Structure 1
Amino acid sequence: MTVKTSRIIIKTFVKTALKDADESPERCTRNLVDMALHFSKGRFQQEFFEMARTMLNNDNSPYYPLIEDTLRHMDKEKLIEFGMNLGYNGCTQGAHIVRKIKRTENINVPWLFFLNIDSSYADLHSRYQAIFDQGKELGIYVYCLYTDGDPEKLLPLIEHNPDCAMILLCNSAAVTEDFAKAAESLNNMLIGVAYDDNTDTACLVLRDHRLLYSIYRMYTDTESDEILSGSYARFAEEMHCPFVAVLADPGCSASVRKNVYKAVVGARVAQKYRTIPIDLFYDIERIGNIISPPSSIIGFKPDGSIYNIGSDGNPLEHNIFNESLRDILKESFSIDQES
Structure 2
Amino acid sequence: MDKKKLTRLMIDSVVKRGIENMADDPRRSIRKLADLGRQFSTGRFQDDIIDIIQTILSNEDSPYYTMLQNFLDNTDHSCIRRFGINMGYNSWTYDARILRQKSQDLSITLPWALMFKYDVRLDNGADPAKIESMIEQALPYGINSFAIVQRGGSIASNEIIDIFRKNEECAFFYFLENAELTTSQASALKECMNVMISISADEPQSFNTSKLLHDAKLLYSIHHFYDDNDFEKVDSIDANSDALQKYFDYQSSMVILIPKKGCANHGDIVKQIRLEGKFPCFIWDMYYDSSLISQRLLGDERGYLEFETDGSIVFPSNDNDALNIDSPFIDIVKNVMPAYSCTVA
* TM-score, length-scaled by structure 2: 0.86
Aligned to 1:216, what secondary structure does the other structure show? Answer: strand
- AA at the equivalent of 1:300: F
1:298 matched to which residue of 2? 305
Distance 1:232 1:141 in 2: 35
> How far has the Cα of 1:65 moved from its partner?
1.0
Tell me the equivalent position of 2:19: 18
How many Å separate the matches in 2 of 1:216 and 1:178? 23
Q: Over aligned residues, Cα RMSD in angstroms?
A: 2.6
The aligned residue for residue 242 of structure 1 is 253
Alignment match, 1:94: 95
Maintained 8 Å contact 1:167/1:192: yes
Question: Structure 2 matches for 1:80-159, cutoff 5 A?
Answer: 80-119=81-120, 126-148=129-151, 149=153, 150-153=155-158, 154-159=160-165
Measure the CA separation in 2 of the matches of 1:298 and 1:65: 35
**In 2, distance between residues paired with 1:133 and 1:152?**
19
Correspondence for 1:212 = 219
1:41, distance to aligned residue in structure 2 (A): 3.5
> Given that residues 22 and 32 in structure 2 are in contact (C-alpha distance below 8 angstroms), is that contact kept between their aligned partners in structure 1?
no
Provide the C-alpha distance between the structure 2 equivalents of 1:273 and 1:315, rounded to a whole number of angstroms.
44
Q: 1:20 to 1:336 in 2, by over 3 A?
A: closer
Across the two proteins, how many residue pairs are aligned to each other?
328
Q: CA offsets, 1:126-158, max 9 Å, x none?
A: 433321122211211111111113423211111
**1:87-117: CA deviation from partner (whole Å, max 9, x where unpaired):** 1111111211221122221111121121122
For 1:320, give the aligned amino acid: I
* 1:50 lines up with 2:50 in the alignment: yes
Partner of 2:323: 318
Q: Point out where structure 2 has 5 or more consecutive residues left out of the alignment.
A: none
Q: Is contact 2:316–2:336 with CA below 8 Å preserved after alignment? A: no
Counterparts of 2:244 and 2:210, CA distance in 1:
14
Residue 59 of structure 1, CA deviation: 2.0
What is the rounded CA distance, in whole Å, between the counterparts of 1:293 and 1:231 in structure 2?
Answer: 39
Q: Cα gap change, 1:128/1:173 in structure 2, threshold over 3 Å: closer, same or farther?
A: closer
C-alpha contact (below 8 Å) 2:149/2:177 kept by paired residues: no
- Which ranges of structure 1 fall in alignment gaps of 5 or more residues? none
After TM superposition, the structure 1 stretch with the greater mean CA deviation from structure 2, 286-295 or 70-79, is: 286-295
Asked if the contact 1:108–1:333 (Cα under 8 Å) also holds between the matched residues in 2, the reply is yes
SS at match of 2:164: helix
In structure 1, how many angstroms separate the alpha carbons of the residues matched to 2:36 and 2:29? Answer: 10
Q: Does structure 2 conserve the Cα–Cα contact (< 8 Å) formed by 1:111 and 1:288?
A: yes
Distance 1:310 1:207, change over 3 A: same
The one-letter amino acid paired with 1:55 is: T
TM-score (norm 1): 0.88
Q: Is the 8 A contact 1:191 1:212 kept in 2?
A: yes
Per mean C-alpha deviation after superposition, the further-off stretch among 210-219 and 169-178 is 169-178
Structure 1 CA distance, aligned partners of 2:340 and 2:78? 43
Question: 1: distance between equivalents of 2:116 and 2:133?
Answer: 13
Shift of 1:12: 0.5
CA distance in 1 between counterparts of 2:340 and 2:53 reads 39
Q: Given the alignment of the two structures, is residue 202 of structure 1 paired with residue 203 of structure 2, yes or no?
A: no
- Tell me by how many angstroms 1:2 deviates: 1.2
Letter of the 1:67 counterpart: L
Which residue, out of 157, 166, 171, partners 2:177? 171
C-alpha distance after superposition, 1:135-186 (max 9, x if no partner): 2112111111111134232111111111111100002542344432332322
Question: Percent identity among equivalent residues?
Answer: 25
Q: CA deviation at 1:304?
A: 2.4
